[in-house]
Amino acid sequence: MTASLRTLLDGPNADVRDLVRAWLAEPGNAPVADLPREEHRAQVLAWARELADAGGTAIGFPVEYGGEGNVGRSIAAFETLAAGDLSLLVKCGVQFGLFGGAVLHLGTEHHHERYLSAITSLQLPGCFAMTETGHGSNVQALATTATYDAAAGEFVVHTPDADARKDYIGNAARDGRMAAVFAQLVVDGEARGVHALLVPIRADDGGVLPGVTIEDCGAKLGLEGVDNGRIAFDQVRVPRDALLDRYAQVREDGTYFSPIENPTKRFFVMLGTLIQGRASVCGASITATKVALDIAVRRSLTRRQFGPPGGDEVLLLDYRTHQRRLLPALATTYGLHFAQARLVERLHRAFTTDDVPDRERRQLETFAAGLKAVASWHATDTIQACREACGGAGYLRANRFAALKADTDVFTTFEGDNTVLLQLAAKNLLTDYRDEFGELDPLGLASFFAGQVIGTLAERAAVRKVLAGLAARLLPGRARAKPGDEAAGRGRYGELRDRTEQLSLLRWRQEHILQGVARRLKGGIDSGREPFDVLVDCQDHVVEAARAWVDRVVLEAFADAVEACEDPELHALLDRACSLYALTRVEAERGFYQEHGRLTAARSKAVIKTVNALCAELRPDAERLVDAFAIPAPALADAREVAANVEQAA
């Protein structure tokens, strides 16, 4: 059964996953611990070159530039690589995902012709220079300028002050030769908003180019093998064709043109190209979680502590608290895995379709933003739980937890801060109702959530209208549970183990929260308050709406995977894991369900009981569930050795 479970998890790109696993298992490719920073950086660059030479880093790029034009396979490879050294993963993410992705998605044919092969082969190491010291999440407020000099046919890229330095930029401190720089474009004296340009930063011999200043960000919490740096530009000139001009061009005569007239929409479309990066970090978070769970579950099946008087000591995983710490996290990781597979499938479809409708693009953006936030937080929580579950052995540096904790920590921040991403997801969820509610101006709403005050009466009216419509749609009265209706998990809403009931619980919560947010936003705006102030007041609620939506889509993806599984034994195992995921989420929100009369006190207690029962039922399959992750042994070797040594010493 483990083999069929592994096949199911590996999905359609199993071959590329196996190639990456084989590479990770080769001598010399295991994650490194404790290398001096410069040696670690050199090792990471050497590994990245090896992967590029083997063609593995071009998979997502068009065939004519040496790739396979296959985003699904490229993300599958990236996800699998996350079992190894995470500095290597992030270095590859910066070079091929962010820098390469900016050239591919924001550039046009002449950029592709000129740079893509050099980028995928790593002959041209580059940076994605968006964040500034002064602004990270609020990209619209970036202060670097790119002013067009029509007489010279050049852009002048400039950092006006220290706050406008590009900061934390991967590949900047040591290896990068060029950067995709995000700057405020000024053409003929008119500000055109944030656009990206390709700016050389170092010569071939590695010397920093005139007008460019680069500092090393120095020691970090983790990812020490990545050379993050700070870049400033002093009136650096680049030719007109340095502008990545898919969504906006500056013509030879010095006029600006964009097929997307509205600047806010243009901005959001450009940023939409970050979806692939978010999906990649999401997948990497899930893999890192799997590594931690593999180590902790395996150890809990060999380590014995205490026991009945006169009897043998008991395996850690036979203790309820240990099951509680590891098995719901394991079930959640399975859920996130299936949701991620769905996200990647949709992304792949979108990338192979010429014209993706706005609505579909927005839904993808919501999915990637929400899932990345939840998966990276889940990684942080689970890695810590696994470390503790391994006791002192988990704390030793030779073990992988130190690196896993330190290196994945920032997954909650880069590719979009999680709290900011959940707000983006919530904004999209509200906007998705636009068609049903007539004239909502989505840009008005986008500005609203981007922190801009909606100035015009027309925009205010549009927002009021959609919020009123949303509230009307979502407000229908809900059946309330009556005391005594439910006992031991059974009641008017059905069995807790019943998938329909589980889906109904999570969907109900999500809709209820969205409805509440809509009502509060509408009430605030109707009372004449500034939309920005209303939003700030409701912000925790807004974020919760997105979080509840992610819980729901994860359960839907998990439930569909269970349904599609034809092997009866495997189906039964996944069904238990899926119920454990669903009820873990319900249990975490018991207060909400009781406050809103959706669970009685008796039924709420039944949720706890059912979670306990499901943990016990899943316990015999725990090893099989982590085996199916197929983490290459060298990615776990140290931890296993440490576990074994500690066992012997004891």
- Catalytic amino acids? 415
Using CB under 6 A as the binding criterion, the count of chain residues that bind ligand FAD stands at: 20
Choose the stretch contacting ligand FAD; rule: CB under 6 A; options: 162-170, 278-286, 371-379, 396-404.
162-170
Choose the stretch contacting ligand FAD; rule: CB under 6 A; options: 79-87, 392-400, 417-425, 494-502.
417-425
Residue 126 found at the interface with ligand FAD (CB under 6 A):
no
Q: Tokens 């359960």 correspond to what residue?
A: 555
For 638, the token pair is 């140290």
Among 95, 131, 399, 408, which residue sits at the site for ligand FAD (rule: CB under 6 A)? 131
For 336, the token pair is 């996130």
Binding mask 82-101 for ligand FAD (x = CB under 6 A): ------------x-------
Residue 417 found at the interface with ligand FAD (CB under 6 A):
yes
- Residue 205's contacts (CB-CB under 8 Å, 6 or more residues apart) are none
Identify the sign of the CA torsion 546, 552, 558, 560.
negative
Q: Whose Cβ is closer to ligand FAD: residue 337's or residue 427's?
A: 427
User: Do the beta carbons of residue 369 and residue 274 sit within 8 Å?
Assistant: no
**Which candidate, 505, 369, 350, places its Cα nearest to that of 431?**
369
Binding mask 41-60 for ligand FAD (x = CB under 6 A): --------------------
Binding mask 191-220 for ligand FAD (x = CB under 6 A): -----------------------------x
For 499, the token pair is 């998938």
Taking phi first (over 0 means left), then psi (-120 to 50 degrees means alpha), and beta for anything else, what does residue 449 get? alpha
Taking phi first (over 0 means left), then psi (-120 to 50 degrees means alpha), and beta for anything else, what does residue 286 get? alpha
User: Do the beta carbons of residue 496 and residue 585 sit within 8 Å?
Assistant: no
Among 136, 225, 335, 442, which residue sits at the site for ligand FAD (rule: CB under 6 A)? 136
Q: Where are the beta strands (DSSP E) in 7-135?
A: 126-129
Q: Is 455 helix (H, G, I), strand (E, B) or coil?
A: coil
Instruction: Report the run of H or E that residue 215 belongs to, with start and end.
Output: strand 212-216
Alpha-carbon distance of 528 to 493, in angstroms, equals 41
The nearest distance, CB 223 to ligand FAD, in angstroms, is 6
Ranked by CB distance to ligand FAD, the top (closest) residue is 136
Among 61, 78, 96, 128, which residue sits at the site for ligand FAD (rule: CB under 6 A)? 128
Choose the stretch contacting ligand FAD; rule: CB under 6 A; options: 39-47, 153-161, 416-424, 434-442.
416-424
Among 183, 187, 223, 553, which residue sits at the site for ligand FAD (rule: CB under 6 A)? 223
Q: Is 175 helix (H, G, I), strand (E, B) or coil?
A: coil
Chain centroid to CA 65? 27
The nearest distance, CB 392 to ligand FAD, in angstroms, is 29
- Residue 370's contacts (CB-CB under 8 Å, 6 or more residues apart) are 421, 422, 425, 546, 547, 549, 550, 553
Q: Whose Cβ is closer to ligand FAD: residue 440's or residue 543's?
A: 543
Residue 326 found at the interface with ligand FAD (CB under 6 A):
no
Among 43, 57, 80, 228, which residue sits at the site for ligand FAD (rule: CB under 6 A)? 228
Among 72, 126, 170, 176, which residue sits at the site for ligand FAD (rule: CB under 6 A)? 170
Choose the stretch contacting ligand FAD; rule: CB under 6 A; options: 6-14, 410-418, 455-463, 565-573.
410-418
User: Do the beta carbons of residue 462 and residue 440 sit within 8 Å?
Assistant: yes
Alpha-carbon distance of 198 to 208, in angstroms, equals 15
Residue 442 found at the interface with ligand FAD (CB under 6 A):
no
Residue 413 found at the interface with ligand FAD (CB under 6 A):
yes
Choose the stretch contacting ligand FAD; rule: CB under 6 A; options: 409-417, 436-444, 513-521, 617-625.
409-417
Choose the stretch contacting ligand FAD; rule: CB under 6 A; options: 38-46, 124-132, 239-247, 363-371.
124-132
For 54, the token pair is 């083997």
The nearest distance, CB 548 to ligand FAD, in angstroms, is 18
Q: Tokens 């009556």 correspond to what residue?
A: 482
- HSE of 508, CA atoms in CB hemisphere, 13 A: 22
For 31, the token pair is 């994650």
Torsions phi, psi for 195 (to 5 deg): -135, 165
The nearest distance, CB 143 to ligand FAD, in angstroms, is 13
Binding mask 446-465 for ligand FAD (x = CB under 6 A): -----x--------------
Q: Which residues bind ligand FAD (CB under 6 A)?
A: 94, 128-131, 136-137, 168-170, 220, 223, 228, 410, 413-414, 417, 419-420, 451
